[in-house]
């Protein structure tokens, strides 16, 4: 569902709220405390004029709404603006900055930043199958993000670089993750969690750590200098292309990313990349995750509370 269709479909707060209720309770509203199926609907309006639809449980008397206990929880922003931001983040191949979202939906930067991070936290792969589970060829490589330090010297810039490990199926899914270093002890648990032993072939560059970890029968090394441009199966072009796309987003959209939140941006990028052929279903998928995950308060997001 693209931005134009979202705006047309959810022109009013009532329409957006109807969609949210159905997304959270496809089989009918149930009490959040006792699970009772009989609830009463109460319609009110808040101080800002935002539609407030409450439900009262006929059994335990609990009052709750469609946003209670979700990532929408305690948000005073209209759902129409939420949905517009969701559509923008789903459609942006290289990501979109909070400043740009703020300009599009008419909010402050702080509000848009918190909003984007809550949507981003919904863009997480839930228990995905390890890459290469169906016998695909898998590529593994590492890259470095950031590192520029004005008037600090070359060494300071190198020390500031963040290492990202990438795993990619040929014509399939990817996984990008921040790691502290490229030593075997650091990479081994990542590969154990995200690389399937069923992969027909695992292609890496000449990183010694991968040579130690991966089985010789399926492991194949490639030198970037010797890769053929038009032919040859021994290459790591898939993961290199994913790295390039992510870095174009960093340079063109975000300009700079915090080390504390880099994994969230990587997860968002992977989620969108892995659904690149399912553009029409992205919006519904994000909405379903937003109503199923716990709230993300601003203070927790900024590490003011833990």
114 and 157: one domain? no
269 and 294: one domain? no
24 and 62: one domain? yes
Residue 205 has a pLDDT of: 87
CA–CA gap between residue 270 and residue 199 (Å, rounded): 20
What are the pLDDT tens digits along the chain (306 aa)?
889 999 999 999 999 999 999 999 999 999 999 999 999 999 887 666 667 889 999 999 999 999 999 999 989 899 999 999 999 999 999 999 999 999 999 999 999 999 999 999 999 988 889 999 999 999 999 999 987 777 777 777 777 889 999 999 998 999 999 999 999 999 999 999 999 999 999 999 888 899 899 999 999 988 766 665 555 556 788 999 999 999 999 999 998 888 889 999 999 999 999 999 998 899 999 999 999 999 999 999 887 543
- Contact between 128 and 135 under an 8 Å Cβ cutoff? The reply is no
Element (H, E) at 174: strand 174-179
Choose among 117, 110, 20: nearest CA to 68.
20
Q: Is residue 117 part of a domain?
A: yes
Q: Is residue 129 part of a domain?
A: no
Residue 259 has a pLDDT of: 87
Q: What residues have CB less than 8 Å from 92, skipping those under 6 apart?
A: 253, 272
27 and 117: one domain? yes
98 and 156: one domain? no
Two structure tokens written together for 123: 């863009």
Q: Is residue 188 part of a domain?
A: yes
Q: Is residue 39 part of a domain?
A: yes
Two structure tokens written together for 247: 């870095």
At CA 191, angle to CA 187 and CA 192, rounded to 5? 115
Residue 177 has a pLDDT of: 95
3-state secondary structure of 168: strand
How far the first Cα of the chain sits from its last, in Å, is 35
111 and 230: one domain? no
151 and 243: one domain? yes
The CATH number covering residue 195 comes to 3.30.420
Q: Is residue 30 part of a domain?
A: yes
Q: Is residue 128 part of a domain?
A: no
Choose among 153, 92, 155: nearest CA to 119.
92
If phi > 0 it is left, if psi is from -120 to 50 it is alpha, else beta; for residue 49 that is left
Tell me which residue range forms the domain holding 105.
3-122+284-301
pTM for this one?
0.89
Two structure tokens written together for 13: 């707060």
At CA 273, angle to CA 174 and CA 220, rounded to 5? 25
Two structure tokens written together for 238: 């898939």
Q: What residues have CB less than 8 Å from 244, skipping those under 6 apart?
A: none
Q: Is residue 169 part of a domain?
A: yes
At CA 204, angle to CA 200 and CA 208, rounded to 5? 125
| Edge-to-edge order in the sheet of strand 63-65 | 39-45, 51-57, 63-65
266 and 142: one domain? yes
Domain count, the chain: 2
79 and 150: one domain? no
Q: Rounded to the nearest 5°, which phi and psi values hold at 144?
A: -130, 135
3-state secondary structure of 63: strand
- Contact between 23 and 288 under an 8 Å Cβ cutoff? The reply is yes
């Amino acid at each position: 569902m693209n931005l134009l269709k979202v705006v047309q479909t959810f022109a009013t707060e009532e329409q957006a709220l109807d969609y949210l209720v159905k997304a959270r309770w496809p089989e009918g509203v149930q009490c959040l405390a006792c699970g009772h199926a009989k609830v009463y609907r109460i319609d009110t309006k808040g101080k800002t004029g935002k539609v407030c639809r409450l439900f009262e449980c006929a059994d335990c008397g609990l009052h709750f709404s469609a946003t209670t206990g979700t990532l929408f929880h305690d948000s005073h922003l209209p759902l129409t603006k939420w949905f517009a931001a969701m559509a923008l983040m789903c459609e942006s191949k290289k990501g979109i900055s909070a400043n740009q979202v703020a300009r599009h939906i008419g909010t402050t930067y702080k509000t848009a930043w918190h909003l984007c991070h809550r949507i981003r936290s919904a863009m997480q792969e839930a228990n995905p199958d390890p890459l290469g589970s169906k016998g695909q060829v898998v590529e593994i490589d590492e890259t470095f993000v950031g590192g520029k330090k004005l008037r600090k010297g070359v060494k300071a810039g190198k020390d500031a670089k963040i290492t990202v490990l990438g795993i990619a199926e040929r014509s399939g899914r990817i996984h990008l993750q921040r790691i502290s270093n490229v030593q075997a002890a650091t990479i081994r648990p990542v590969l154990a969690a995200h690389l399937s032993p069923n992969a027909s072939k695992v292609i890496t560059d000449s990183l010694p750590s991968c040579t130690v970890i991966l089985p010789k029968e399926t492991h194949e090394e490639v030198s970037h200098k010797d890769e053929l441009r038009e032919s040859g199966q021994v290459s790591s072009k898939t993961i290199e292309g994913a790295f390039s796309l992510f870095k174009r987003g960093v340079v063109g959209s975000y300009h700079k990313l915090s080390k504390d939140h880099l994994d969230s941006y990587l997860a968002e990028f992977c989620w969108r990349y892995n659904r690149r052929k399912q553009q029409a279903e992205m919006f519904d998928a994000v909405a379903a995750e937003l109503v199923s995950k716990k709230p993300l308060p601003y203070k927790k997001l900024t590490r003011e509370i833990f």
